[in-house]
Amino acid sequence: MSVSILVGSQWGDEGKGKVVDILSSKYEVVVRYQGGANAGHTIEIGDKKYVLHLIPSGILREGVICVIGNGVVIDPQALLDEIKFLNDQGIETKDRLFISHNAHLIMPYHKLLDKIEESGANKIGTTGRGIGPCYKDKYDRRGIRLVDLLNRTELERKIRQNLEEKNNVLKKLYQHEELDVEAIIQEYCDFDAKIDSYITDTTSLLHKAMEQNKSVLMEGAQGALLDVDHGTYPFVTSSSPTSGGACTGTGIPPTKIDSVIGIVKAYTTRVGNGPFPTELHGDEEEKLRKLGAEFGATTGRPRRVGWFDSFLVRYSRMINGIERVAITKLDVLSSFSEIKVCIGYEFEGKELKYFPTDNVKLSSVTPIYEVLPGWNCDITEVKNFNDLPKQAKDYLAFISEKCGFEISIISVGPKRSQTIEL
Ligand code: IMP
């Protein structure tokens, strides 16, 4: 039995979908532990492209059991759309997908408030999927969970109670029209009818699987620098994508975890607002975004792009306990004659010893770069590490040494087949 955690090591969009898909062939259970439909995991198999937001990409491997853990927040419509999409592709979800009864539900007022709050002074650049307001209600102990769907009286009571307050806020604070209580109750009852058979006590299910010596992969969404505690607060998501979040988001204790695998993009991207020391502007920015097809899988927004930041990833390795990594999108750098890697930051004339998560400080640092030669050739068909050009191998060795981890997977294109395993 092995239990591993897979984390995004930067600001999300590192290519977790593809890596989970590759690793799923070695695991029997894949469980997602936080976030919601703000994530977008893209997987290309043959000539088919799958974009998943909530369901772990392990669902694309026959026989793999997929779990949505208690730490995830669930948008009913997004979930139903995804189940339908998979079923239409001939991928079975019955008896393969299990959703925690303790997971919280995203309600229509969460999505609405997310959008309204974003139009105010505190602009985070959220995905507008209701994530922050839903987690807010969870910690405020007024959230509605999947288990509530199983008890209609309780469900109705909770929706009415919540809506009384939310409608008050919508009307008095935001001069917005009230939401229709009866329609929402009906909507969630209809959802229950379709989703009931997937809801279960996933904590017990996962422990039973481990007792049976099954291997479990715990999949995080977003990335470590978007972690509400360890990320670039306030420009973060409202959950814990770091490896620590895997335990609370699933009920699997730390003593069961064997390894933490990091996913690292060969350069850096960020969506939404907040500091980004190695961000590119102008022609190089356009070139990198275009080559990397850096547009959000969930919102379609152009992602901000920049050079690889080993100072940031080293911090990420430290807080996550990452031992080995999968490097993704190495092929995207193939046409750059020089590639920069950030190896540290200067702040007020001094080199910093530690990565500053403080938003104001991080906004004023100057990155210190090392310039490496590019390889200037196509690597998308390379299958063995030894066949990579010397400059690409040197680039990987450099970032591996600077960040302090081993590289075990290299992705040189979006397809399953474009993967080098070491
Ligand atoms: P929220 O998670 O929608 O509340 O957004 C908070 C911040 O996290 C924003 O900067 C989003 O762009 C960012 N974010 C949320 N989900 C993802 C993701 O899957 N990839 C990259 N950034 C994300």
Mutate to test the pocket of ligand 1, among 271, 298, 303 (most ligand atoms within 8 A of CB): 271
Q: What is the pLDDT of residue 177?
A: 96
Atom number, ligand 1, closest to the C-alpha of residue 226: 8
The candidate with the shortest Cα–Cα distance to 327, out of 398, 411, 404, is: 411
Contact 42, 18 (CB under 8 A): yes
- Each residue's pLDDT, cut to its tens digit, for the chain (422 residues) gives 799 999 999 999 999 989 988 998 899 999 999 999 998 888 888 888 898 999 999 999 999 999 999 999 999 999 999 999 999 999 999 999 999 999 999 999 999 999 999 998 889 999 999 999 999 999 999 999 999 999 999 999 999 999 999 999 999 999 999 999 999 999 999 999 999 999 999 999 999 999 999 999 999 999 999 999 999 999 999 999 999 999 999 999 999 999 999 999 999 999 999 999 999 999 999 999 999 999 987 788 899 999 999 999 999 999 999 999 999 999 999 999 999 999 999 999 999 999 999 999 999 999 999 999 999 999 999 999 999 999 999 999 999 999 999 999 999 999 999 999 99
Helices and strands counted in the chain (H then E) = 13, 20
The SS3 assignment for 365 reads coil
Which of the 8 DSSP states describes residue 53? S
Atom number, ligand 1, closest to the C-alpha of residue 299: 12
Phi, psi (5° rounding) for residue 242? -65, 165
Between the CA of 237 and the centroid of ligand 1 the distance, in Å, is 6
CA distance 48 to 30: 22
Strands 338-347 and 304-306: unpaired
Domains in the chain with CATH codes = 3-100+199-261 (3.40.440.10), 104-194 (1.10.300.10), 264-421 (3.90.170.10)
Strands 65-68 and 29-32: parallel
CA distance 184 to 156: 10
CA distance 279 to 307: 7
Mutate to test the pocket of ligand 1, among 32, 38, 57, 263 (most ligand atoms within 8 A of CB): 38
Q: What's the first-to-final CA gap in the chain, in angstroms?
A: 21
Between the CA of 69 and the centroid of ligand 1 the distance, in Å, is 19
Length of the chain: 422
Which residues touch 240 (CB under 8 Å, ≥6 apart)? 34, 71, 227, 228, 229, 248, 249
Q: Look up tokens 């026989």; give the residue.
A: 63
Q: What is the pLDDT of residue 298?
A: 76
Between the CA of 222 and the centroid of ligand 1 the distance, in Å, is 7
Between the CA of 264 and the centroid of ligand 1 the distance, in Å, is 17
The SS3 assignment for 146 reads helix
Q: What is the pLDDT of residue 297?
A: 77
Mutate to test the pocket of ligand 1, among 10, 116, 123, 226 (most ligand atoms within 8 A of CB): 226
Measured over the CA atoms of residue 258, residue 357, residue 54 and residue 329, the dihedral's sign is: negative
> Residue of the nearest CA to atom 20 in ligand 1?
12
DSSP per residue, 332-344: GGTT-SEEEEEEE
One-letter amino acid of 222: Q
Q: What is the pLDDT of residue 41?
A: 87
Binding-site residues, ligand 1, Cβ < 6 A? 12-13, 38-40, 124-127, 129, 131-132, 221-222, 226, 235, 237-238, 271-272
Instruction: Note if 41 is an active site residue.
Output: yes
Q: What is the pLDDT of residue 252?
A: 98
How many other CB atoms sit within 10 Å of the CB of residue 228?
A: 18
pTM: 0.96
Per-residue burial over 290-305, b = 16 or more CB atoms within 10 Å of its CB, e = otherwise: ebbebebebbeeebbb
Tokens at residue 123, please? Answer: 């602009």
Atom number, ligand 1, closest to the C-alpha of residue 239: 2
> Which residue of the set 13, 21, 309, 331 is catalytic?
13
Q: What is the pLDDT of residue 299?
A: 80
Q: What is the pLDDT of residue 178?
A: 96
Q: What is the pLDDT of residue 96?
A: 97
